[in-house]
Amino acid sequence: MRRSIVAGNWKMHGSRSMIEDLVKSLATSVNTDTCDVIVSPPFPYLSLVQQLTAGTGIGLAGQNCSEHAQGAHTGEVAADMLVDLGCEWVILGHSERRQAGETDAQVAAKAATARSAGLKPILCVGESLAQRQSGDAVAVVTAQLAALVEDLSAGDVIAYEPVWAIGTGETATPEQAQEMHSEIRAFLVEQQPTLAQQTRILYGGSVKADNAAELFAAADIDGGLVGGASLKADGFSAIVGAAQ
């Protein structure tokens, strides 16, 4: 039985006061008993969120990390700094970063650095609308995974996020999502048989309170990576409720 995960990716949103309000509400409304609940604030707010989530059971994720160890890399954030600020997780290879030029090889290098710092990577994969329309969705996702699974470790999480569903309000149907999740699971069975059944695969792309239960009911969907709907405590708590 894989424990569900609901992770809130706040992207580049928030302010001190907005985040204080959000985390205080989450602390009283989310149930972390049977589900890993994770929030991923922008870097400058990690320390604040670490303090506010202490003792709540809510986990912390960075939104990215450098592939390098600490050193002369202006503007970058080292994986061990995230650990120092209480992160247990890091989101890597999000499509918004891939669109800005991040390559499969870089995502793999970041994942290796993250693992050696003790972080569990949440590895994002997903096809564009054009790739889906041309029938290449599975090939694209499999190629992204191929770069990542060689060093897959226990605790790593995969997030399938079709690019056409991110922030668009257009969600993959539970059937479309399950179809890809089952392809991903089958690929893991081939490549990493001992980890295939325990690796959690999250769906991301316009997950909301009113579609979460249907998505999470699918056999190979182990929870969600939630963007927009993670910025409001009531909506996010309802999504966590759907994963219980």
For the window 161-190, what string marks contact with ligand PGA as x by the rule CB under 6 A?
x----xx-----------------------
| Nearest CB to ligand PGA, comparing residues 51 and 173 | 173
Other Cβ atoms within 10 Å of 45 Cβ, number: 19
Other Cβ atoms within 10 Å of 56 Cβ, number: 15
Binding flag, residue 93, ligand PGA (CB under 6 A):
no
Closest CA to 8 of 219, 214, 193, 212: 212
Site for ligand PGA in 19-78 (CB under 6 A): none
Per CB under 6 A, the segment of 25-33, 101-109, 129-137, 222-230 that binds ligand PGA is: 222-230
Binding flag, residue 226, ligand PGA (CB under 6 A):
yes
Q: Do strands 223-226 and 89-92 pair parallel, antiparallel, or not at all (unpaired)?
A: unpaired
Q: Residue with structure tokens 């985040």?
A: 19
Q: Where are the beta strands (DSSP E) in the chain?
A: 4-9, 35-40, 59-62, 89-92, 120-125, 157-160, 200-204, 223-226
What is the distance between the alpha carbons of residues 129 and 37, in angstroms, rounded to a whole number? 29
Per CB under 6 A, the segment of 30-38, 60-68, 101-109, 204-212 that binds ligand PGA is: 204-212
CB of residue 72 to ligand PGA, shortest distance in Å: 31
Binding flag, residue 207, ligand PGA (CB under 6 A):
yes
Binding flag, residue 206, ligand PGA (CB under 6 A):
yes
CB of residue 166 to ligand PGA, shortest distance in Å: 4
Please, what is the angle between helix 233-243 and helix 16-29, to 10°? 40
Binding flag, residue 102, ligand PGA (CB under 6 A):
no
| Active-site amino acid positions | 94, 161
Q: Residue with structure tokens 């054009």?
A: 130
User: Which residues make up the interface to ligand PGA (CB under 6 A)?
Assistant: 9, 161, 166-167, 204-207, 225-229
